[in-house]
Amino acid sequence: MSGTFGLGPEGLRQAFPFHMVIDLQGRIVQRGPSLLRLVPDLRVGDALEDIARLVRPTPTLNVGELFRSAPEFFVLELVGCDVLLRGQTLAQGDHLLFLGSPWLTHSQQLEDLNLRLSHFALHDPVIDYVALLQSKNSSLEDANRLAAALTQALDERERARSRLSALMSRLPYGVLAEDESGNIALTNQAFCDMFRIQAPPEALVGGDCSEAAAAAAPLFRDPAGFLSLIAERLTHRIPVTQDVLELVDGRVLERDYVPVFEGETYRGHLWLYRDVTEARRGQEELLFARARAEEANHAKGAFLAMMSHEMRTPLGVVVGLSDLLAEELSPHERTDYLARLRANASALLALVDEVLDFSRLESHAVELHELPFSPAGLVDDVRRSLAVRAEQKGLALEFEVDARIPRAVIGDENRLRQVLVNLLTNAVKFTSSGHVRISARVLALESDGATIRYEVSDTGRGIPADMQQKIFERFVRLPANTTQRSEGTGLGLTICRTLVEKMGSEIRLSSAEGTGSSFWFDLEHPLAYEPLPAQPERKTWTDGNAWSILLAEDDPDNRLVLTQALERAGYDVDVANDGTIALEKAKALDYDLLITDVSMPNMDGFELTQRLRELEAHSPRSRLPIVGLSAHALANHRERATAVGMDAYLTKPIGRGDLLEAVNRHVDRRKRVMIVDDSEDAARVLSRLVERCGPVRALWASDGARAVARALRSKVSLVLLDGQLFGMSGEDTARALRRQEGGAELPIVAVTGEAGVDAARRYRAAGCNEHVAKPVSKATVKDILERYVLVPGKSDPSPSPSPPSVALALDPEVSDMIPGYLLNRRADVARLRAAIGTGGRFDEVRSIGHKMKGTGKAYGFAGVSELGDELERAGAQRDRERITELSYQLERHLDEIEALLSERRH
Amino acid sequence: MYGLVNSALQEFVVARHGEGVWQRIRERAGVRAEPFVTMKTYPDSLTYDLVGAACTELGLDGEVFLAELGVFWIQYASDRGYGSLMNLAGNSLFEFLQNLDAMHARVALSYPELKPPSFRCTEVTPDSATLHYYSHRPGLLPFVRGLLSGLADRFSVRIEVTTTPRGADGADHDQLHIRVLSQGSVR
């Protein structure tokens, strides 16, 4: 059977369901059943070229050539279904057989062509091929999926890496991560910076860690220790924090070691380095500060213990002596105990003063008061204040002031004095032989300022080097040595240092044990072009001389303290060590005030006052104001003080303010007129006349020599000179006065028994301003005073209406009550002066004035009423000055009343 | 077992129970977290371990789990590109079952290490047939029942399956007796 190749038609259909047979004309003579699924309208007789296009062997072959070339591989493109038929040709006679199957490239084509397994011959590998294609597609899908997962993982890793990188670069720690093989897995810039590595951190990754460690070892103070510590950490693989590593450049690093395990598996480790140089320094400073604080606390404790001791010791003495004083004692014992009491109380007072001063400095309550002052004068003052103590210890007190020191500079004189006194006191205290020295030297002098070095040095025991800084700290005292007890608060130098710092400088110290110490500081003072401030007017004469005070005090320390206080306030102070000396001085010289301690050897203050008052009562001398000082605050002492004629009575401890207030109130500020006359009676009359003419005080000199010696020293405003004097004549006296320094300006009026132009000429020639013949009337005296002393606006320090004249209109009915009335008015004078003291009880002044106003006339004393009226007004106006003035007027008025009454009685 | 089977297992668990449950099952089975490669051969034990772990984790009976996995497998293979090949096997359930062995034989060409089961379909009537299941792998009969259910869904028929397990009546293979309960439209 042609065209079936022995298979028979059914066999051919089963074995090759896509077969096709053509004849020599190229017409289809037979086709397989599955080919019909691809080309459903294929008919027997159709031309091959109508249903298919030859792709292989060669598209241009004609049918004859196909027959000749068979068997041959063929590919036919079936027209209309886009399917390639692939297989081989087989020629048999005039039939050509195409044995093939569809060439599928995708499994989907099976569905597109609606082909099923049954459409293929069982031996056809096309299905296998399609299955393989599907496997390939599955693998491709896998590959795509894995590639996507990989890309995602890579992206994630990159993000993680950049996060880590950002974190690492911002970490303040040097980080080095090693993998399990000891290679660098990760590091950061901080690590590179820490170890001065120039390369970027990424460049280190992969490097060998042990090599890196060996290379870094020389950076460490202990390279071998550094390496062995690494080895130890790696051996034990236990997390360790804060290994401390010191570098040769001074830095200190802290290192943590963190081994990394995954489950049980060691995966490497992490080193974290921190630069703790600053932190440790801070810690050290903190420790140092703590030590200092503890030291300060200790010093404070020691200070409290010392203060307790320092206070208890004198307090014990005070208590003990107070008990003793309550018992029967001999006058000598009593005096001795009182002196000791005073000394101990003074010591206590000084202690308290120092602590208070320190406390004010600590709380910044101290302000500097910068005023013009004389540095040379200040240094001299300081020297003088310590002179006695130095002398008592047998020390030479040297003093040096640079000749170039400006006359006046600006600064806080009092605070500077405090510093220098403190330094010099220490110098004296700690020097047992040799000298102490205070100096002021000009370091620089400019047109507007000067730098002055103030220095206090000594040849004392010196200060150990380890104490030289500490002694300026609070509560620190030099340790006691075998021969000297430490004493004082330990605050003196702290106060000095603080004050000098406030003045813009710093105290420096140079000292060697056994050879002495030197403290100095340099102050920049602006120059003061204006003159030194005038002392307060009420304290001085217009010619600039100070009021003069006699201070009777046996205790040298008290004497010093009081002298300094008074001198600083601008007074001239003369001192007497006991009552007898004071009496002699008071008799010989003209003081404006006497301040007397009550307890003194030889003659106490009460006796001194009594003797002076008696003297005044029987001589032309003016009444000397007396202020008593006492450690006794008992009422009977106060009464006794008043009884003997003291004007004021202050009890110790005496504050500077209280002292000055009392002094200001009582110092005799009246201008002085010296009466030179060898007749005591004549002098007494003239003196009374002079004092009645105004606020003027009469001084008496019994001969020319005394007048010359005293007139200028006593700062008199006028000399009334008798002609016929015992010894030096009036004319000679006038000449001698004129020759004295400052004597040329002194008004001298000759009051003599001679008369006439001749006498006037002679006295003028001798230097007198004018000549008046005796007897002189009150009007003449007043005229003279008004021209030379009481010139309004010229020299009267307290211009005020003249005190009321004494006009007595005594009512006989009350005459027996007059002495009592006058005594009460005397008491009023004291009350008035007390009332204007601290605080000022001006209501009391008004009340006193009001009573006087109302009662004066009733007793016949119109002047008392007038003064009362004035006092009432001054009290209402709270005018301290006026009240003071009026109290003096009242006192003089009472003197005059009593004098008149006395005259009448006689 | 090829990776395709393990992937199907993973997809099935993730689709039904979520990724977290899958991770627990994987960890329980001690299987690394990496994608299964379709054409790679994995040890059978890995698949059995995963199935065991899944049953433990989900508290399911192994037969139930395998049956459900069998249902899922039909859709999964179809979705993974084997749909056309499955269509090639026939237009009806029984035609498909009759070509099933040839299908496995063909596919085996591209899975050289595949040890596919063998199927034979006998006693085919319009409403019933018996599927003979030969496999060297034990315990997968429930999976084959699940496959039948999946195929029934694919061809929109409701069937009832009874089994004669290997060993019963001296048989050396499992037999699944299929009875069509109702016909759906032919796909």
For A269-306, write each residue's pLDDT tens digit: 999 999 999 888 888 889 988 988 887 787 777 777 77
Q: What angle do CA A166, A170, A174 make, to 5 degrees?
A: 110
pLDDT of residue A527: 84
Q: Could you tell me whether strands A508-512 and A671-676 are parallel, antiparallel, or unpaired per DSSP bridges?
A: unpaired
Residues A892-902: what's their mean pLDDT? Answer: 82
**Amino acid code (one letter) for B78:** S
* Best residue of B85, B100, B103, B187 to probe chain A, by most A CBs closer than 10 Å: B85
Question: Average pLDDT, whole number, for chain B?
Answer: 88
* Contact with chain A for residue B187, Cβ under 8 A: no
Q: Cβ B110–A142 below 8 Å, yes or no?
A: no
Instruction: Compute the nearest-CA separation of B43 from chain A (Å).
Output: 19
DSSP state letters, A420-462: HHHHHHHHHHT-SSSEEEEEEEEEEE-SSEEEEEEEEEE-SS-
Q: Cβ B88–A110 below 8 Å, yes or no?
A: yes
* Contact with chain A for residue B103, Cβ under 8 A: yes
> Are residues A146 and A114 in contact, defined by beta-carbon separation less than 8 angstroms?
no
Residue A534's pLDDT band, with cuts at 50, 70 and 90, is very low
pLDDT of residue A777: 80
Q: Could you tell me whether strands A265-275 and A174-179 are parallel, antiparallel, or unpaired per DSSP bridges?
A: antiparallel
Helices (H) and strands (E) in chain A, counts: 29, 28
pLDDT of residue A798: 40
More confident residue, A118 or A804: A118
Searching chain B, which residue's CA lies closest to the CA of residue A120? B88
Dihedral pair phi/psi, residue A250, rounded to 5°: 100, -15
Q: Cβ A135–B39 below 8 Å, yes or no?
A: yes
Q: Is the pLDDT of residue A155 over 90?
A: yes
pLDDT of residue A796: 39
Superfamily of domain B92-183: H-NOX domain (3.90.1520.10)
Q: Is the pLDDT of residue A792 over 70?
A: no
Dihedral pair phi/psi, residue A371, rounded to 5°: -140, 165
Chain position carrying tokens 């450690």 = A631
| pLDDT tens digits, one per residue of A310-351 | 777 778 778 888 888 877 778 787 877 887 787 788 778 777
Q: Is the pLDDT of residue A547 over 70?
A: yes
Q: Is the pLDDT of residue B46 over 80?
A: yes
Q: Cβ B106–A128 below 8 Å, yes or no?
A: yes
Q: Cβ A134–B87 below 8 Å, yes or no?
A: no
Residue B41's pLDDT band, with cuts at 50, 70 and 90, is confident
Q: Cβ B37–A142 below 8 Å, yes or no?
A: yes
Specify the range with the lowest mean pLDDT, choosing from A595-604, A792-801, A868-877, B27-36. Answer: A792-801
pLDDT of residue A651: 78
* Contact with chain B for residue A145, Cβ under 8 A: yes
Selecting from A117, A142, A145 the residue whose C-beta is nearest the C-beta of B99 gives A117
> Are residues A886 and A870 in contact, defined by beta-carbon separation less than 8 angstroms?
yes
Tell me which residues of chain B, numbers 104 to 123, contact chain A at a CB-CB cutoff of 8 Å.
106-107, 109-111
pLDDT of residue A838: 61
More confident residue, A169 or A437: A437
pLDDT of residue B9: 92
Searching chain B, which residue's CA lies closest to the CA of residue A125? B106
Q: Cβ A127–B106 below 8 Å, yes or no?
A: yes
Residues A10-32: what's their mean pLDDT? Answer: 90
CB burial of A746-768 (b: ≥16 within 10 Å; e: otherwise) equals bbbbbbbebeeeebbebbeebbb
Q: Cβ B81–A139 below 8 Å, yes or no?
A: no
pLDDT of residue A302: 72
Q: Which residues of A touch B38 (CB under 8 A)?
A: 138-139, 141-142
* Best residue of B38, B42, B111 to probe chain A, by most A CBs closer than 10 Å: B38
Task: Give the Cβ contact number of residue A701 at 10 Å.
Answer: 26
> Are residues A784 and A772 in contact, defined by beta-carbon separation less than 8 angstroms?
yes
Selecting from A111, A127, A139 the residue whose C-beta is nearest the C-beta of B87 gives A111
Searching chain B, which residue's CA lies closest to the CA of residue A113? B88
Q: Is the pLDDT of residue B178 over 90?
A: yes
Task: Give the Cβ contact number of residue A543 at 10 Å.
Answer: 10
* Best residue of A34, A114, A117, A128 to probe chain B, by most B CBs closer than 10 Å: A117
Question: Which helix (H) or strand (E) covers residue A372, if one does?
Answer: strand A371-373
pLDDT of residue A811: 60
pLDDT of residue B184: 61
pLDDT of residue B166: 84
**Amino acid code (one letter) for A718:** L
Residue B133's pLDDT band, with cuts at 50, 70 and 90, is very high
Q: Cβ B110–A110 below 8 Å, yes or no?
A: no
- Burial (Cβ within 10 Å: 0-12, 13-18, ≥19) of residue A840: middle
Q: Cβ A141–B38 below 8 Å, yes or no?
A: yes
Q: Which residues of A touch B88 (CB under 8 A)?
A: 107, 110, 115-117, 127, 130
For chain B, state the CA radius of gyration: 17
Residues A34-52: what's their mean pLDDT? Answer: 89
Q: Cβ B109–A110 below 8 Å, yes or no?
A: no
Instruction: Compute the nearest-CA separation of B98 from chain A (Å).
Output: 11
Residues A440-463: what's their mean pLDDT? Answer: 90
CB burial of B22-43 (b: ≥16 within 10 Å; e: otherwise) equals bebbbeebebeeeebbbbeebe
Alpha-carbon distance of B178 to B171, in angstroms, equals 18
| pLDDT tens digits, one per residue of A810-823 | 666 667 778 778 88
Instruction: Compute the nearest-CA separation of B99 from chain A (Å).
Output: 8
Q: Is the pLDDT of residue A808 over 70?
A: no
* Contact with chain B for residue A838, Cβ under 8 A: no
* Best residue of B78, B82, B88 to probe chain A, by most A CBs closer than 10 Å: B88
Selecting from A107, A122, A146 the residue whose C-beta is nearest the C-beta of B85 gives A107
Tell me which residues of chain B, numbers 18 to 57, contact chain A at a CB-CB cutoff of 8 Å.
35, 37-39
Dihedral pair phi/psi, residue A803, rounded to 5°: -65, 155
Q: Cβ B38–A142 below 8 Å, yes or no?
A: yes
Q: Cβ B109–A138 below 8 Å, yes or no?
A: no
* Contact with chain A for residue B82, Cβ under 8 A: yes
- Residues 6 or more apart whose Cβ sits within 8 Å of residue A11: A4
Residue A34's pLDDT band, with cuts at 50, 70 and 90, is very high
Q: Cβ B111–A110 below 8 Å, yes or no?
A: no
Q: What is the ipTM of this complex?
A: 0.80
Structure tokens at A91: 């020629």
Q: Is the pLDDT of residue A127 over 80?
A: yes
Q: Cβ B81–A141 below 8 Å, yes or no?
A: yes
Where along chain B do its domains lie?
A: 3-60, 92-183
* Contact with chain A for residue B171, Cβ under 8 A: no
Alpha-carbon distance of A492 to A474, in angstroms, equals 9
Specify the range with the lowest mean pLDDT, choosing from A129-143, A481-495, A614-628, A735-749. Answer: A481-495
More confident residue, A772 or A107: A772
For residue A314, which of A342, A353, A356 has the smallest C-alpha distance?
A342
Question: Which helix (H) or strand (E) covers residue A102, if one does?
Answer: strand A95-102
For chain A, state the CA radius of gyration: 63
Query: Global pTM?
Result: 0.41
| pLDDT tens digits, one per residue of A374-420 | 888 888 888 877 887 888 888 888 888 888 888 888 888 888 988 99
Q: Is the pLDDT of residue A545 over 60?
A: no
Q: Which residues of A touch B119 (CB under 8 A)?
A: none
* Contact with chain A for residue B102, Cβ under 8 A: yes
- Residues 6 or more apart whose Cβ sits within 8 Å of residue B105: B116
Tell me which residues of chain A, numbers 110 to 139, contact chain B at a CB-CB cutoff of 8 Å.
110-111, 115-118, 122, 127-128, 130-132, 134-135, 137-139
- If you average pLDDT over each of A318-322, A733-737, A898-902, which comes out highest? A733-737
Q: Is the dihedral of CA A640, A641, A647, A650 positive or negative?
A: negative
Return the number of CB contacts < 8 Å for A and B.
Answer: 69
